[in-house]
Amino acid sequence: MHPTTPTIPGFTYRRVPVADDVTLNVAVAGSGSPVMLLHGFPQTHLMWRHVAVELAAHHTVICPDLRGYGASDKPAENAADDLTYAKRTMAADTVALARALGHDRFALVGHDRGALVAIRAALDHPDVITHLASLDVLPTLDMWDVMHGTGAAVGFHLYLMAQPPGLPERMISASADEFFGYFLDIWTRDPRAIPADIRAEYLAASRAAVPSIVADYRASAGIDVAHDQADRDAGNRLRMPVSVLQQDWGTALGFDAAARWRAWAPDLRHATVSCGHFMAEEAPDVVAKAVLDLVR
């Protein structure tokens, strides 16, 4: 890593191959049972800088940049419907990463995009994922179900990046800092939660990753929906204990978030949190406690 790049204090950094064409940037610290933390958009592993330090006092904590984000590799999307950025592929990255670090089973915590990867990992690898925590998302299939009418305007970026390759990439690249910075601003209730150096790192990392970020979102409007639908049709559910922290999106958009989660997770803890979307940075103590309570 560049010497001026922010890091998580006390964590060791390494690059770990997880697939033929993908090596992930990973921060690791602590000892004990492993917990992997997956970041969201438009962020990197640094979003966990507070939570990770607290968890590392009790667990081995693994914080990767997802494929296509941060300092991890960014393989090219070969077609709008290929598997390069399917959550199934990104979930397989997490299992390969854990095994490369010597862990056959681990708890998985995800925020935003990382939560979608974590949910898919838990569905695809139920004997590997011991516990699942999700921050401020619904499973992909439910996310699209509840986005309708004028309320869907809050998710305009989901529809923009769902379009075929070309136009979304060009539009976002033309004003990348404004595009990504918009979400850092409107989704944060406390601007102090993302200080200037971290914000600059998020913007620089996102600016350099426009094609892969768009490909990640495009997959969520295509192949990821197909995978979720297949699981729903087959009656597959999350077999491990699941903890969900969310803003009160259900009241805002007119749906019962807990009920939607219970359809996937019989062993569910669901709570709303009074902060913005970036809760690991705005309410790190709340997030750390929820994870520790889940995996104890």
Answer yes or no: 112 catalytic: yes
Answer yes or no: 277 catalytic: yes
Give the residue ranges of DSSP H helices in the chain.
49-55, 87-100, 113-124, 140-146, 156-160, 167-174, 176-186, 196-207, 210-220, 223-234, 249-253, 257-262, 279-282, 284-295
Backbone angles phi, psi at 268, to 5 degrees: -120, 135
Catalytic hit among 39, 131, 227, 277: 277
Amino acid at 173: S
| 3-class DSSP state of 35 | strand
Give the residue ranges of DSSP H helices in 19-69.
49-55
Cα separation of 57 and 41, whole Å?
27
Catalytic hit among 112, 136, 224, 228: 112
Q: How many CB atoms neighbour CB 13 within 10 A? A: 15
Cα separation of 121 and 126, whole Å?
8
Cα separation of 233 and 237, whole Å?
11
Tokens of 255: 């749906």
Q: Give the full edge-to-edge strand order of the sheet including 60-64.
A: 12-19, 22-29, 60-64, 34-38, 106-111, 129-135, 242-246, 268-272
| E strand map for 20-97 | 22-29, 34-38, 60-64
Could you give the residue numbers annotated as active site?
112, 277
